[in-house]
A and B are shown apart, each in its own frame.
Chain A
Amino acid sequence: MGRLEVLKTYKVYIGGKFPRTESGRYYTPTNAKGEQLGNICLSSRKDVRNSVVAARKAFGGWSERAANNRGQILYRIAEMLEGRKAQFIEEIIFQGATKKDAEKEVSIAIDRLIYYAGWCDKYTQVLSSVNPVASAHFNFSVHEPMGVIGVVADKHTSLIGLVSLMAPVIAGGNTCVVIASEGLPLCSVTFAEVLNSSDVPGGVVNILTGKVGEMMPPLASHMDVNGIVYSGDDKKEIKDLEESTALNMKRISVYSADWMNSDEQDIYKIADCQEVKTTWHPIENIGGASSSY
């Protein structure tokens, strides 16, 4: 008789810790063959609340980090993911994908993290402007992170959809609360373990598993969430999201994309979770050709 395998306990990730859902509930999704994927936390609205609190607390520190440092941390996530590639491939296959697709998905996820790691200290240069106003003022516009962003991950992938949405959000200095794929939740929890070992400060990314229909409304109506990025094309979900965000003028970005496409990454996804801030200051004009002195 062989050795008894140690099964993994899947927990949620809030504020850099791995608690069980405060509700004590779980669900047991299955793959196409009917095999149980595991006992997955069925997060509640209180978990959403706790995550938003953790994300808000982490926002100041994360947004004020040097852009270069954020880039290094995103790169570190990619490094750690590379090191645990096999485990992710195994989970993706277990959740129903072919080996080839699973390998591709993990590779793209790693490369995508590196792509956004590189953007951290460049996007403001590309997106900012110095504006030639007609008065004696220096005027410039820069991008600033919005704050706490809700991420409703792609439902049809376990890893790549989550990474594709999360990476530009945190590359831009935001913190986030991620709602993982309901049916394919395994990688989200394992990815949280990667984050936790990659110098990402606790609370910058919080990951919840459970029912989207249960978690999305409290997230969308939360007054301390500044924006939501959503992947998918469920018309009702989009409408509900957009309606409830009228509460506090949340910014909503809806993506309907094939995240397995290696082109589905760009600076504009960073820009979607940025605010433009324009600053004016007088220029004292003394000396030189146009001087009145």
Chain B
Amino acid sequence: MAKKKNTQAAVEWDYSPSPESTSHIELKSKYDLYIDGKFVKPSSGKYFASYNPATEEKLADVAYANEKDVDKAVKAARKAYTNVWSKMEASERAKYIFRIARIMQERSRELAVVETLDAGKTIRESRDVDVPLACNHFFYYAGWADKLDYAFPNRKVEPLGVAGQIIPWNFPLLMAAWKIAPALAAGNTVVIKPAETTPLTALILAEIIHEAGLPPGVVNIITGYGDTGAAIVNHDDVDKIAFTGSTAVGKIIQKAIAGTGKKATLELGGKSANIIMDDAPIDQAVEGIINGIFFNQGHVCCAGSRLFVQEAVVDIVVKKLKRRMDTLILGDPLDKNTDIGAINSKEQLAVINKYIKIGIDEGAEMYQGKCVIPEKGYYCPPTIFTDVAQSSTIVQEEIFGPVLTIQTFRTVDEVIQKANNTPYGLAAGVWTDKGSRIFNLTTKLRAGVIWANTYNKFDPTSPFGGYKESGFGREGGLHGLSAYVKLK
């Protein structure tokens, strides 16, 4: 019998386009401010446009709130706090928050699609991560409203009053949930401002809150730029500032509220270490690297942007990482098969490209995933740099994009020192098969969230927040409540 050679040709099998339907989504052409339970026009009459970063097309016009509007919102929040919300039975407060969670779940597909349109993130993530987590956050904190006395042993708690909240563009709806849910559960009222590039899901949330029948003024959602945020921070009648964003702006806020007695929670930047030991489960570690830096195009404050690989396995890790990067699908964020969506804005793309250039100029070796970059929209291929040092700019500064630096190390001591050698302290990852080594590393790393043999996991019950210049206060879990109460 003749030997048959097993030489069938490699098969080309590409996934056909599989876009999420937008047919049931009806965006308004113009969105107003949600103040005191009503949708109202901005006092300046000015609007600004929100764009789809994947297509550069305008999605809607959004109201631009000025100081007057902020004042109106704060007054409404104060009135609602004094007359209604702080007087309401805690168990009733809980039911309102539960109701918000339920309506969000009902409108979850709409929220996911709009999030993807407005932020450029993939539908896979907005559908499977952002929106369910946001719903669950409301659901989790709702139940706390009438159980606060259990959270702080030996103390009675009181709400702070009016909370001014400013959220970023990387997880627009989820950050709104992180801010609003615990504030309401603890009995505060809220004035919140979404980021100027991603206001739409917060405005749908305003509709949901309205639909839930929340008393007017308990939640006020106003849109605008940095000056709108500054007006919230500087308003005399705000008791609490909660901000998520850059460390630079966080410092400005901290300065602005110094001596005013306002409480603050600041969730700021990071440059988190992801550490691969030589006994790690390598294939899962590679997946953890991918998830750590390319999740949400790297627009993640806790992104595992500094990879440390023990020298014995660096060759195989880098080889597998590159191979995996080549399988990532970049493109239309609405396509269900897209792994890497659009960069959030033109400005952010410029920042990322600036750092990529710095990396090249510093002599680091770059590798980018084999992706076809769409002609329209803002995109950046997954990028890694090897041959970098602790002193390289791209190792030290937060890039907030899909850019990873890879350093090697020899001993545990060395990697702990290098991982902690940063002004930030938000998160860290550790990959090793040895239990006692995990606890050694997780104990010694100076960061607020440590992922061991996993990365970028979030849950409403799990406190999130950093050490050092990554900000202070925690969001999520029991510990997230303390940011919104005073103890008696």
Contacts and interface: CB of A to CB of B under 8 A. Distances in A.
In their complex, do chains A and B touch, with some C-beta pair under 8 Å?
yes
Interface of A: 126, 129, 131-135, 137, 139, 141, 146, 226, 235-236, 238-243, 245-249, 251, 266-268, 275-282
19 contacts: A126-B153, A131-B461, A134-B461, A137-B457, A242-B254, A246-B252, A249-B250, A266-B154, A268-B152, A276-B479, A277-B442, A277-B447, A277-B448, A278-B450, A278-B477, A279-B451, A280-B450, A280-B451, A280-B454
Given A139-B461, A243-B258, A282-B453, A249 B487 contact: no
Interface string B440-475: 001000011111111001010111110111111010
Contacts of B384: none
A133 B461 contact: yes
Contacts of B250: 249
B448 A139 contact: no
A207 to B, nearest CB: 26
Contact of A238 (B259, B266, B465): B259
Contacts of B462: 131, 133, 139, 141, 278, 280
Given A133-B457, A247-B251, A268-B155, 7 more contacts: A141-B479, A248-B469, A249-B250, A249-B254, A249-B471, A251-B472, A267-B153
Nearest to B461: A131
A132 B461 contact: yes
B468 A279 contact: no
Contacts of A249: 247, 250-251, 254, 266, 268, 468-472
B478 interface: yes
B305 interface: no
Contacts of A126: 153
B259 A278 contact: no
B136 A134 contact: yes
A283 B80 CA distance: 45
Interface residues of B, number: 45
A196 B355 CA distance: 51
Given A129-B477, A239-B258, A135 B457 contact: yes
B359 to A, nearest CB: 26
Interface of B: 136, 152-155, 247, 250-252, 254-255, 257-259, 266, 268, 423, 438, 442, 447-454, 457, 459, 461-465, 467-472, 474, 477-479, 487
A275 B427 CA distance: 13
Contacts of A246: 251-252, 254-255, 258
A246 B152 CA distance: 28
B448 A278 contact: yes
Contacts of B254: 242-243, 245-246, 249
Given A126-B153, A243-B255, A249-B471, A134 B459 contact: yes
Contacts of B461: 131-134, 139
B476 to A, nearest CB: 8
A129 B476 CA distance: 12
Contacts of A235: 259
Contacts of A134: 136, 459, 461
A239 B260 CA distance: 8
Nearest to A241: B258
A139 B258 contact: no
